[in-house]
Each structure stands twice: as C-alpha cells, then as structure tokens.
C-alpha cells in the first residue's frame, strides 16, 4: 500500500543495537519518518509532543513499564496510535492478552526485514499482523483474554486508578497521587468494577496483575 503522506514510526526499545537494526529495516519502508525512545516515559513524552505518530513498535521489557501495562496505557491515552509489540517473548498467552488489549501486531525480535516491512503495511491497512507460527496457536476465547478486552474499555484515568488499586494503594493515597478528591477516586473505582465485571477492588487488582503478565 502506498501512502500519500509519510508514515511516522516510533521505535520504543531500550537496546540501542536493536533500535538501530529496526531503523535500518524500516528505512526500506518508503516515506517513513523514524523516531526512537529508550524508556517508556520517553515514549509517552514523544506521543504527547507529536500527534502525527502512526505506529509505535513497543518492547515489553522497557524501563518504566511492567509487562503489558505500557501497551494498555498507550491504547487508553492514544487510541488512534497503532501499537505493534516487538519482543523475544512469544508465548501464546502473551500474544492473546496483547491482542485483546488492542495491539495491532506481534513481531518476534528475530523477524526478518521483509517481515517487519510487511507488518507495517498490514497494520496500516487496518489488519492485524502475526507471524505464521504465532497465528496458528492464538485462541481469543479464554477468560483472561475476555478480561483484557474489557480493560480496553477503561478511560485513561480509570486505568491509572486500577493500576494503583492493584499496587495496594488506598483511595486516600490515590487521591493524593492524582491530585483529585477522594470522592472522585471512589467514582472511578465503581466505574472500573462495573466495566470489568468484578465484585470488589481486590479481585480487580489481582485480575489486572494477571492480565499484565508476560511470563506465558
């Protein structure tokens, strides 16, 4: 697919050599503008500064992000940005959760240049890209996958509150951290429980941590 405007790609990975390899591969993608980030806070800062970024190639093991939390944050705050996971971890459970959270693709770090370029074209066409050996094993019907899908319904503020609940913070502490009233926190928590279909904050926190895992 030929795009009339340059495609802006952000490579978010903490390994300089891998970023260099990705840049080299993506230079073959006609008209691509390449940006780089080595930490998750840097990734979010670039997304906030530049609203024209089309795709983020996101490493799951970046400093400042734990498991799939980085993916969930980007999808909540920047829903128009496509996110392609690039990682050495390709267990089916991780792939399922990433796709349920809104990832547009999943590329192994061992992928060839042709695969990377094909992934860019595929996700820009609105399709999901997976390598063949992963495509054959994914199954989007699991309970955990369903929970991950419901997570994608949360607003950015609700997601932040849920992360803090999962970390064991009380409403008063959450209110202080986010500079909002305790009653607003309670409203967010109630909305989170309703959207996720869980009965209390403890179950919500445990389910969130399970959904963010990247150990298979």
Q: Enumerate domains of the chain plus CATH numbers.
A: 8-135 (3.40.50.2300), 153-212 (1.10.10.10)
Is residue 174 pLDDT above 50, yes or no? yes
Q: What is the largest CA-CA distance in the chain?
A: 52
3-state helix, strand, coil in the chain (%, to 5): 50, 10, 40
Supply the pTM of this predicted model.
Answer: 0.70
What's the rounded Cα separation, in Å, for the pair 10 and 53? Answer: 7
For residue 1, name the pLDDT band (cuts at 50, 70, 90).
Answer: very low
In tens, the pLDDT along 128-144 reads 888 777 654 555 445 55
């Amino acid at each position: 697919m030929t795009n009339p405007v340059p495609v802006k790609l952000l490579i978010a990975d903490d390994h300089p050599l891998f970023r260099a390899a990705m840049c080299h591969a993506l230079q073959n993608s006609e008209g691509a503008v390449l940006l780089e980030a080595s930490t998750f806070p840097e990734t979010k800062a670039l997304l906030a500064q530049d609203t024209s970024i089309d795709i983020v190639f996101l490493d799951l093991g970046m400093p400042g992000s734990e498991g799939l939390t980085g993916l969930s944050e980007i999808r909540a705050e920047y829903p128009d940005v496509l996110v392609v996971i690039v990682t050495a971890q390709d267990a089916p459970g991780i792939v399922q959760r990433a796709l349920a959270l809104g990832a547009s693709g999943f590329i192994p770090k061992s992928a060839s240049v042709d695969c990377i370029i094909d992934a860019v074209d595929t996700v820009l066409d609105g399709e999901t890209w997976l390598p063949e050996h992963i495509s054959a094993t994914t199954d989007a019907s699991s309970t955990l996958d369903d929970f991950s899908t419901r997570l994608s319904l949360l607003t950015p503020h609700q997601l932040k509150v849920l992360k803090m609940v999962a970390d064991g913070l009380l409403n008063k502490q959450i209110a202080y951290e986010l500079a909002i009233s305790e009653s607003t926190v309670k409203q967010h928590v109630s909305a989170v429980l309703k959207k996720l279909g869980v009965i209390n904050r403890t179950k919500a926190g445990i389910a969130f941590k399970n959904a963010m895992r990247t150990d298979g």
